[in-house]
A and B are shown apart, each in its own frame.
Chain A
Amino acid sequence: MAKVSIQEGMTEMSAVKLSGAEILLKSIEAEGVDTIFGYPGGQALPIYDALYDSGIRHILARHEQGAAHAADGYARATGKPGVCLATSGPGATNLVTGIANAYMDSVPLVAITGQVTRSSLGKDSFQEADITGITMPIVKHNYLVKDPAELAQTVKDAFHIATTGRPGPVLIDMPSDVSLEKVPYRRPGQPDLPGYKPLLDGDHSLIMEAARAIAKSERPLIYSGGGVVISGAQEELVRLAEMLLAPVTSTLLGLGGFPGNHPLSLGMLGMHGTKYANFAVCECDLLIAVGARFDNRVTGKLETFAPGAKVIHIDIDPAEIGKNVRVDIPIVGDVKRVLRQLLEVLQPRLGAAWQEKIQAWKKEYPLEYRENGDSLKPQSIIREIYYLTNGQARIATEVGQHQMWTAQYYSFTKPRSFITSGGLGTMGFGLPAALGVQVGCPGETVFNIAGDGSIQMNIQELCTAVNYELPVNVAILDNGYLGLVRQWQEMFYNRRYSQSELQNPDFVKLAEAYGAEGYRVTKKSEVTPVLEQAIRSNKPVMIDFIIDREDNVLPIVPPGESLNKMLG
């Protein structure tokens, strides 16, 4: 304490002078950050120079987009904020997809960009881009730092904003002369943001109203989203479901928030959800939405979504309530806290008839796939990965068929074990995200389940994996198509396969060229031994699984249709 008061008592004259870059790194470290992901360049050089002497570990990606996704994956797996760093202009714009991705999925990401000097701003200077303007629609907040004396407070506020309430990305743009200028360092105070006060506890009268609605309902259904994972509410959600004997269906981002192997789990709902989950939505009389946002991939046709149900919506973001569907009982607050409040006032209920109905659906309409001669089935490869990792691996994916199959067939039991781009649907997310996951969770088994299209969107990050000895396993489900595009063309565009067939490189040679291990699997008998070898290996491994070419993700609710109009 004495030490603190001495520092606070220092006059500006006697305070230590630090450069903006030094203040930046010191402030980041003070937030508990030990690893960042980035890529240097001209206007970021002062920051990189300060980094040279700093204790912060820097992972050098091979493309700024890779750095952003890696920081995102790190944040999703650990729950800590992810930090990425890039230079001005193209460096900054290359982060944009990564930032938008983090925004859509509520990931705490702090992006730092170099910028041209203050006097060069607004003059179309070399490598100048108005990144605060460009990112305005896709950040929770952003800053262009014009005074190094304000920097420490800005970083403090930025981390506070990124990690509290509904998390999201915050960008800090650093003109290079701000990074170089030396000013007396003063510790930041607590964030003082008059317009930012997230509500954490649910309103008591609404909690009571929800409890009454629950007591009255005969067919309750819990619809669980990414908010459950973010707020760490798995235990509370399981207690709620068991107390009410209410089945639980999850969104893509909610998977792992409720154990996929729990008897009350219905798996995923929506466009590629299970039939029994979608039937349950159509027939429930009470829908308890927990940390979910009624995305159009989930609801299908809005007019017929949960038609007979009263809706309770628990979410930390008031703007999500009533945005897409009418809500009867809105409860704004942190999911974990609100569930605890609810559990205190709820009575256990019995619901034998509803249980029987659900069990009958599960029996009649299981998630299933048909073997096709000797062809490798993607679903069975994912099941095999599940068995070999005891369901305990961290799985990142790209976007497409492989992603949906993973969501369907790897029964995620742990929160933060499924790392996938939900809202933005970013191909090229999986590989760099998997690296971030592996950095955040050393010693754990990490997979990137990919498609042959997506993997090529950030394949350069394989080099990063080799460089930093990150033993991620990349399983490419290779059908020589942009599979989901081809599937939609087959189903909705008269099989006119416009630009969806791919000519691919030799992935095995490519892996080897990067210094990773590469395997190709064409026979069923090879699946298990190669996967075992990959999991055992302490090097990055890329496996090219040549799968059934025209397999589809089923069931599917055609776009804009009601959830009970599933095909397949």
Chain B
Amino acid sequence: MKKNTLAVLVVNKPGVLARISGLLSRRVVNIESIAAGYTEEPDVTRITLDVKGDEQALEQVIKQLSKLIDVIKIVELKTEESVERELALIKVKAETSRRSEIVNLVSVFRANIIDVNKETMIIEILGDEKKINAFCAVLDDYGVVELVRTGKIALSRGPLAVKQ
């Protein structure tokens, strides 16, 4: 099934995230990722949602979300017309003997090492989902201790904003 990215502008009020996630779960839509944060306007929160589904399912998701009073606008962001980023922090086993291999990999993927101790290091990596997946797969050989991802955020290319 196709993955779809939605930019959802909502009124910045308590409970608004619960309204959105609750609606999606009761309409039997799986959230692949969700990321929310403040925007250039203080009253508006922007939520980037990734949901799986065919065209009809996506249309229902957009229409149902639009019915929420606190939702101001929803726009579908097509991959080819938008920029997508995700941040991951990865704690990986890094014994002295293997450290230089990992450092090489970090540089190949243009990631950064942000913390090192005797046994492990923490790497930050920024990029689209595929790149992060690939990096995680490579690090698997060394032993990933723990991992956290922000979920995707995205902006459309070109001069226009979603709110327009």
- Tally of A-B Cβ pairs under 8 angstroms: 43
Q: Indicate if A196 sits at the interface (CB-CB under 8 A).
A: yes
Chain A interface, number of residues (Cβ within 8 angstroms): 18
Closest to B69 in A: A141
- The dominant DSSP class at the B interface is helix
Chain B: minimal CB distance from A363 (Å):
41
Q: Indicate if B11 sits at the interface (CB-CB under 8 A).
A: yes
Per-residue A-contact encoding for B56-86, CB less than 8 Å = 1, 0 else? 1001100110111111110000000000000
Q: Indicate if A357 sits at the interface (CB-CB under 8 A).
A: no
Given contacts A136-B18, A195-B11, contact A318 B69 (CB under 8 A): no
| Residue from the list B56, B66, B70 in contact with A319, Cβ < 8 A | B66
The CA-CA distance from A161 to B23 in the complex, in Å, is 18
A-B contact pairs, 27 of them (CB 8 A): A133-B18, A136-B19, A137-B26, A140-B69, A141-B68, A141-B69, A141-B70, A144-B15, A193-B69, A194-B72, A195-B10, A195-B69, A195-B70, A195-B72, A195-B73, A196-B69, A317-B67, A318-B63, A318-B66, A319-B60, A319-B66, A319-B67, A321-B63, A322-B56, A322-B59, A322-B60, A323-B60
- Enumerate chain A residues within 8 angstroms of B143, measured Cβ to Cβ: none
Chain A: minimal CB distance from B44 (Å):
9
The CA-CA distance from A194 to B43 in the complex, in Å, is 11
Most chain B CB neighbours (cut-off 10 Å) among A137, A196, A319? A319
CB-CB contacts below 8 Å: A114-168 with B:
132-133, 136-137, 140-141, 144, 161
- Enumerate chain A residues within 8 angstroms of B66, measured Cβ to Cβ: 195, 318-319
CB-CB contacts below 8 Å: B4-32 with A:
10-11, 14-15, 18-19, 22-23, 26
The CA-CA distance from A321 to B66 in the complex, in Å, is 13
Chain A positions within 8 Å of B, measured between CB atoms, are 132-133, 136-137, 140-141, 144, 161, 193-196, 317-319, 321-323
Closest to A133 in B: B18
- Enumerate chain B residues within 8 angstroms of A132, measured Cβ to Cβ: 15
CB of A137 within 8 A of CB of B22, answer yes
- Enumerate chain B residues within 8 angstroms of A141, measured Cβ to Cβ: 68-70
- Enumerate chain A residues within 8 angstroms of B14, measured Cβ to Cβ: 144
CB-CB contacts below 8 Å: B116-141 with A:
none
Instruction: Beyond the given A137-B22, A161-B69, A318-B66, please list 15 additional residue pairs across the A-B interface where CB-CB is below 8 A.
Output: A132-B15, A140-B69, A141-B68, A141-B69, A144-B15, A193-B69, A194-B11, A195-B66, A195-B69, A195-B72, A196-B69, A317-B67, A318-B63, A319-B60, A321-B63
Closest to B68 in A: A195
